[in-house]
Structure 1
Amino acid sequence: MRYYRLPGRKHSSGSDSLVVVDDGDAYDLSTASDDLGSFTQLARAANACDESVDAIARNRIPDADPVELDPDDVLLPVTPDEVWAAGVTYQISEQAREAESGKPEVYIDVYDSERPEIFFKATPSRTVGPNDAVGIRGDSTWDVPEPELGVVLHREEVVGYTIGNDVSSRSIEGENPLYLPQAKVYDKCCSVGPCVATPEVVDDPHDLGMTLAIERDGEVLFEDSTSTSEMATTCEKLVSYLRRHNDLPETVVLLTGTALVPPESFTLAEGDRITIDIDEIGQLVNGTVGV
């Protein structure tokens, strides 16, 4: 199943709606129970009953109101307590980091190493949802989107997948790899959406087509595709390293790296439109704004 968040409808809680799509039909689970107003609440219920989130949702669908799902209305599908990200998980990413850095050997070492690069990416206040604008740092001269498969964890267990945009200030990271936190963590530095797709629909996260398109003034400036089968590691390994000696909060999104890197001649500008498609999950669209 796929889970979306929509602006609040006319149900007793008055908050946003958790909408499930099953076999093409959409239902507002929030109308079945005020305790199912968010994906995290659904995951808590599943955990309490020792069931999957899909089993809980399927049980409540008969009591839920059917709705029309408009992609322009969807919000951040889950509010992660933390967003983490992995780097240099595709060969093209390793090559891009070498190109931007005066110290390329550090990226070669990570790509060939058993231990992956995992870094903190965003807090809830720095994370935007579908149709919102991601940020471009005012002190950076080279900025790019990084489309990535996101793994959604609840109490350290994988409960679904989403799309993430790990926006990066490459001029800052390229100056010195130790500047990575400034290149990655800032206002509106990350987007997530459009939904959480459970393992019921994402059968193999390592065999998903992924496409990135960037438009400016109606013209496509960059478009390319890849597959998560090109990852040099696995989601399981990345999750395993994230958990190590790390007491994770209740809900976490882990971004798994990118293989789609615009050429060195390209940098984002205010007003650009970024579209990321991943098979079985959907489409994440964001604008851009200076921060």
Structure 2
Amino acid sequence: MRYYQIDSPDSGLVVRTNEEAYDLGTSRAPVDSFLELAKASTVSGTDVDSIASRLVETAETVPRADFDGNLARPLSPDEVWAAGVTYEISESAREEESEKPDVYIDVYDSERPELFFKATASRTVGHGEDVGIRHDSSWNVPEPELGLVLYRGEIVGYTIGNDVSSRSIEGENPLYLPQAKVYNRCCAIGPGIVSAGSIDDPHDLGIQMTITRDGGIEYEGTTTTARMHRTCQELTSFYCRHNSIPELAVLLTGTSLVPDDGFTLREGDSISISIDSIGRLENTVTEV
């Protein structure tokens, strides 16, 4: 099943089954957010889809007109973290941007992955909103990634993430990574959440990204999560180690779609990221 939030104060959590959408906020046991559904799943010992399947029996349907073009951020994560150098092409790209490339070779080949804090809920945006690029960076790129939705450290769903990055800042010195990654509107999440039980293999999903500017295509690329050097469970395990993890988090799993070195995002660009079985995340770019 797929779960969404509609940009309306009167709407609860929306679940989509085949061609019908239901507002679980109108069911006999109202559910207003994915966090509430995940909590109920843990308390009852059943998966989120089983609970939703029962609730739709008494929930109102959502008209297609209210659903299309009216999606909000599907969750409000306490934290967003991200993994780096999980694909070979990412390792190569970060070597090229950096004056200290050996650190990326070491991470790619080591047992311990690179994990870093990416955003709070206030720094994330949803489908259809503007993602940000830093005014003090001359080289900014989007990074399309499979996102793991974690409830108390367990994978309960998948979403799409855009880990927008300031490559000129990180390239100057790897110690500047927090400034290259964490700033206003630095991360997009959406358009919805697909339950963990609805994805047969998260390591075999096609990813596509298109960047358009002034009506023309500036970049277009495809890849697959089969090229990941790490597994989702491995990344989750390291994220949870010796870490007081929040109740609800998103862990981005890295990217293997990297535009050419001569490309940088500009204000007004449009970014479209699709992942098989999950959907399409679309955002425009603004300078922050």
TM-score for the superposition, normalised by structure 2 = 0.97
Say whether residues 1:245 and 2:251 are aligned partners.
no
* Equivalent residue in structure 1 for 2:19, among 13, 24, 31: 24
**Secondary structure of the residue that 2:197 maps to in structure 1?**
coil
Corresponding letter in the other structure for 1:99: E
> In the alignment, is the contact (CA less than 8 A) between 2:11 and 2:23 conserved in 1?
no
* Cα distance in 1 between the residues matched to 2:224 and 2:148: 16
Corresponding letter in the other structure for 1:63: T
Say whether residues 1:103 and 2:126 are aligned partners.
no
Corresponding residue of 1:11: none
Alignment of 1:63-78 (within 5 A): 63-69=58-64, 70-78=67-75
Query: More displaced, 68-77 or 55-64?
Result: 68-77
Q: CA deviation at 1:34?
A: 6.4
Task: State the Cα RMSD in Å.
Answer: 1.0
* Cα distance in 1 between the residues matched to 2:260 and 2:38: 40
Corresponding residue of 2:169: 172
Q: CA deviation at 1:167?
A: 0.1
Gaps spanning 5+ residues in structure 2: where? Answer: none
* Cα distance in 2 between the residues matched to 1:86 and 1:119: 6
Corresponding letter in the other structure for 2:45: D
* 4+ runs deviating over 2 angstroms: 14-17, 68-71
Say whether residues 1:126 and 2:135 are aligned partners.
no
**Secondary structure of the residue that 2:198 maps to in structure 1?**
coil
Corresponding residue of 1:225: 222
**Secondary structure of the residue that 1:30 maps to in structure 2?**
helix
Corresponding residue of 2:3: 3
Query: More displaced, 24-33 or 191-200?
Result: 24-33
> In the alignment, is the contact (CA less than 8 A) between 2:159 and 2:193 conserved in 1?
yes
Corresponding letter in the other structure for 1:155: R
* Cα distance in 2 between the residues matched to 1:116 and 1:246: 15
Alignment of 1:193-272 (within 5 A): 193-272=190-269
User: Could you list the per-position Cα deviations for residues 81-112 of structure 1 after superposition, in whole angstroms to 9, with x for gaps in the alignment?
Assistant: 00000000000000000010011000000000
> In the alignment, is the contact (CA less than 8 A) between 2:150 and 2:248 conserved in 1?
yes
Alignment of 1:78-89 (within 5 A): 78-89=75-86
Corresponding letter in the other structure for 1:53: V
* Cα distance in 2 between the residues matched to 1:48 and 1:146: 36
> In the alignment, is the contact (CA less than 8 A) between 1:7 and 1:17 conserved in 2?
no
> In the alignment, is the contact (CA less than 8 A) between 1:35 and 1:41 conserved in 2?
no
Q: CA deviation at 1:68?
A: 2.9
Say whether residues 1:49 and 2:44 are aligned partners.
yes
Q: CA deviation at 1:77?
A: 0.4
TM-score for the superposition, normalised by structure 1 = 0.96
User: Could you list the per-position Cα deviations for residues 192-230 of structure 1 after superposition, in whole angstroms to 9, with x for gaps in the alignment?
Assistant: 001110123211000000001000011010000000000
Gaps spanning 5+ residues in structure 1: where? Answer: 9-13
Identity, % of aligned positions: 58
* Cα distance in 2 between the residues matched to 1:190 and 1:64: 32
Corresponding residue of 1:62: 57
* Cα distance in 2 between the residues matched to 1:83 and 1:163: 12
**Secondary structure of the residue that 1:195 maps to in structure 2?**
strand
**Secondary structure of the residue that 1:140 maps to in structure 2?**
coil
> In the alignment, is the contact (CA less than 8 A) between 1:165 and 1:191 conserved in 2?
yes
For this pair of structures, how many residues does the alignment match?
Answer: 286
Corresponding residue of 1:36: 31
Q: CA deviation at 1:45?
A: 1.0
